[in-house]
């Protein structure tokens, strides 16, 4: 049985750990509230951008069938090169948040190779995904750390870089793997093909109308002309999609960390109770042993 001093030292260590995990839970909860507000405000905007873009694309396609499509809409018949954009966090202590996203990214790469792609590389946002893939000797074409600190600035930069590579033929497809935020305890892994841009159906599953409507009865009057709108809306759509994925992942990270730290705090409390019980038993045994020695010594003196 461990000594009383060792047990006391361990109880103190667990109490200090409990203070840290409790503080981290509170910090994660505060950040989660801000991140939830941002993603909640962005989703309606992202949905409307997709609706308007579907209407413009449908009108352009039907109005001038001989005109070549916008480069971001080109679906190349032979897709050989692809990027898998994996979004993880820069920090740990978030439960299974990073490992789930990494497994999904590796699974997506395997699926693309099975579909006939010859060259599939990773692009990472977040230090955890990058470090894991490099340990596995995976090819990371681009890595971006700190993007979650300023997603409103970094998302357009990363999106433009990837769009340029798609247009010049460096890649034929871009998939994003991220964690979609549902609640503090529920996050879902999502895989979306971003390039080439496909807008057959919106987020609600409604197809866009060929008459310039969004599929829900809304008709749009285009000003300026549709080609100019398409030139502006397509990059905006890709940037918004990436920005939404980063914000979803950021909110999911804080939710997962808050849950993990809450579980760690409860586990520390249970461990402290168990160690306190062990300490009391050891203390009682020590007292009993001392009493027995005193009684034994007194009996020996009598004899």
- The CA distances from residue 27 to 22, 34, 78, 245, 255, in Å, are 9, 11, 48, 22, 11
Question: What's residue 220's pLDDT?
Answer: 63
The partner residues of 144 in beta bridges, in order of sequence, read 125
Quote the CA–CA distance of 275 and 10 in Å, as a whole number: 8
Taking the CB of residue 176, how many other CB atoms lie within 10 A of it? 26
Instruction: List residues bridging with 281 in a β-sheet.
Output: none
**Angle ∠(111,117,120) on CA atoms, nearest 5:** 80
CATH topology of domain 23-258: Pyruvate Kinase; Chain: A, domain 1 (3.40.1380)
pLDDT at 288: 85
Q: What are phi and psi of 83, to 5 degrees?
A: -115, 140
Q: Shortest CA distance to 32 belongs to which of 220, 217, 253?
A: 253
Q: pLDDT value at position 211?
A: 42
Give CA separation, 34 vs 27, 31, 42, 184, in Å: 11, 5, 13, 13
Q: pLDDT tens track of the chain, all 303 residues?
A: 678 888 899 999 999 999 999 999 999 999 999 999 999 999 999 888 888 888 777 766 544 555 667 888 888 888 899 999 999 999 989 989 999 999 999 999 999 999 999 999 999 999 999 999 999 999 999 999 988 888 889 999 999 999 999 999 999 999 999 999 988 888 999 999 999 988 764 443 344 443 444 445 566 676 777 778 888 889 999 999 999 999 999 999 999 999 999 999 999 999 999 999 988 988 888 888 888 888 887 777 776
Q: Which two tokens stand for residue 222?
A: 């285009």
Name the architecture of domain 4-19+260-302: Orthogonal Bundle (1.10)
* Domain boundary assignment for the chain: 4-19+260-302, 23-258
Alpha helical stretches, state H, the chain: 4-63, 97-114, 127-135, 151-167, 226-302
What pLDDT does 205 receive? 38
The radius of gyration computed from the CA coordinates of the chain, to the nearest angstrom, equals 29
Residue 301 DSSP SS3:
helix
What's the confidence (pLDDT) of residue 61? 52
CA end-to-end distance (rounded Å), the chain: 34
DSSP character at residue 150:
S
């Amino acid at each position: 049985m461990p000594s009383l001093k060792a047990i006391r030292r361990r109880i103190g260590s667990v109490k200090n750990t409990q203070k840290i995990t409790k503080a981290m839970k509170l910090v994660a909860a505060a950040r989660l509230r801000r991140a939830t507000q941002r993603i909640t405000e962005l989703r309606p905007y992202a949905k409307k951008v997709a609706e308007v873009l579907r209407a413009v694309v449908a009108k352009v396609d039907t109005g001038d069938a001989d005109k070549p499509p916008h480069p971001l809409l080109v679906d190349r018949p032979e897709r050989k090169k692809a990027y898998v954009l994996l979004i993880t966090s820069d920090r740990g202590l978030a439960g299974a948040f990073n490992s789930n996203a990494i497994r999904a990214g590796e699974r997506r790469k395997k699926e693309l190779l099975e579909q006939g792609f010859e060259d599939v590389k990773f692009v990472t946002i977040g230090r955890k995904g990058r470090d894991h893939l490099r340990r596995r000797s995976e090819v990371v074409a681009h890595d971006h750390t700190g993007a979650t600190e300023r997603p409103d600035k970094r998302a357009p930069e990363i999106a433009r870089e990837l769009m340029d590579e798609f247009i010049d033929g460096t890649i034929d497809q871009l998939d994003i793997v991220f964690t979609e935020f549902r609640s503090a305890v529920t996050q879902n892994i999502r895989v979306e093909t971003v390039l080439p841009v496909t807008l057959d159906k919106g987020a609600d599953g409604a197809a866009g109308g060929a008459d310039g409507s969004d599929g829900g009865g809304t008709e749009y009057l285009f000003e300026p002309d549709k080609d100019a709108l398409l030139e502006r809306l397509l990059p905006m759509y890709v940037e918004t999609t990436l920005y939404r994925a980063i914000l979803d992942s950021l909110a999911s990270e804080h939710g997962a960390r808050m849950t993990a730290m809450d579980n760690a705090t409860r586990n520390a409390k249970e461990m402290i109770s168990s160690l306190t019980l062990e300490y009391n038993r050891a203390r009682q045994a020590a007292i009993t042993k001392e009493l027995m020695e005193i009684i034994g010594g007194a009996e020996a003196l009598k004899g």
